[in-house]
A = this chain, B = another copy of it.
Amino acid sequence: MSDLPKAIEICEKGPREGMQIEKGPISTARKIELIDALSDTGLQHIQTVSFVNPKRVPSMADADAVIAGITPRPGVNYSVLWLNDVGLERALKYRDRIEFREAFSLGASEPFSLRNQNRDTVANIAMQNSHLDILERNHIHMESALITAAFGCNFAGDIPIANVLATIEQAFELAAAHHFTLKRISLNDTMAWATPLTVKRMVAAVRDRWPSLRINLHFHNTRGLGVANFFAGLEMGVESYDSSVAGLGGCPFAGHRGASGNVCTEDLVFLCEELGIGTGVDLDRLIECALLAEEIVGHPLPGSVMKGGTLRRLREEVAKKNYSIA
């Protein structure tokens, strides 16, 4: 029916994007416990903390202690988020234990960048230039960028494909100015505007223009379309995705506080397992992490498979009981 990828890579965003929105307080020890548990699941990429202003994001005030406290597992890449030079300089202190996965971030929607970072497009490009200068001076190998609000924006509405292509063009120019080649672009549906159809159209347009540029997709499940959008990405052959264990991370822009955040990692891994797509992740261990995350935050999280159970387990039970099919 379709040629799905043989394997995908997942970047787990729960510890950073999830914990960031929790009112908490959540102790540093428990944050470390979750990251260390995730390190044992087979996930290859884990975003751990944001180096941001603790006055604006109090839940990330202990970011240094978290990074210093985790037990890095060989083969797992740990990344962090920064939004300005101060944050990047803080991150650089840990360059031996973190990867600088997305070297810079551009916005497909200027109203969102103004609202979220208080910077217009020109100011943001200047800021990214400054980050790239710092990274270059530190001989950090770079190859990846991300585009926020790539599918739509609560403050600008639908984002035309042409805007996203123009923004990727800017990313290529920024990379060239800093002597590296952009090899990977993350299209982030920051405010949950994507549908399976717009995912397919956007991926097709980016592929058509830059056939060898690797694409990463980042979905939020605020309106229930996260998994459908993920499957649309798979059908387009996209091999890299962001997600969040247990669906950690509410949406700060949604209508009410119970709204879901990032698409749920174990739900994606479950679907991949059913489709025969490799993820390298042990689903049972990941579900244990989801239950741990729920215990740590102290309220129900939106993941589905952590509640509904896997089909592999049911198949094993069926095989044991030797039921026959009618």
Contacts and interface: CB of A to CB of B under 8 A. Distances in A.
A122 to B, nearest CB: 10
Nearest to A260: B304
Interface in A36-70: none
B111 A308 contact: no
Interface string A224-261: 11011011100000000000000000010011101110
Interface stretch (A75-83, A95-103, A138-146, A194-202): A194-202
A223 B311 contact: yes
Interface residues of A, number: 72
Interface stretch (A7-15, A85-93, A177-185, A266-274): A266-274
B157 A224 contact: no
Given A231-B228, A314-B157, A201 B1 contact: yes
A262 interface: no
A305 interface: yes
Interface in A288-326: 300, 302-305, 307-311, 314-315, 317-319, 321, 323-326
A222 B308 contact: yes
A308 B309 CA distance: 25
A224 B109 contact: no
A257 to B, nearest CB: 8
B224 A325 contact: no
A254 B310 CA distance: 9
Contact of A259 (B195, B308, B311): B308
29 contacts: A1-B197, A1-B204, A2-B197, A4-B197, A107-B326, A109-B325, A109-B326, A110-B325, A110-B326, A113-B326, A157-B318, A157-B325, A163-B325, A195-B271, A195-B274, A195-B275, A196-B228, A223-B267, A223-B304, A223-B310, A224-B264, A224-B271, A225-B227, A227-B228, A228-B271, A254-B307, A258-B300, A259-B304, A260-B304
Interface of A: 1-2, 4, 107-111, 113, 120-121, 152-160, 163, 192-193, 195-197, 200-201, 204, 221-225, 227-228, 230-232, 251, 254-256, 258-260, 264, 267, 270-271, 274-275, 300, 302-305, 307-311, 314-315, 317-319, 321, 323-326
The 10 nearest A-B residue pairs measured at CB: A110-B326, A255-B309, A224-B304, A222-B308, A224-B267, A228-B228, A157-B318, A259-B307, A259-B308, A254-B308
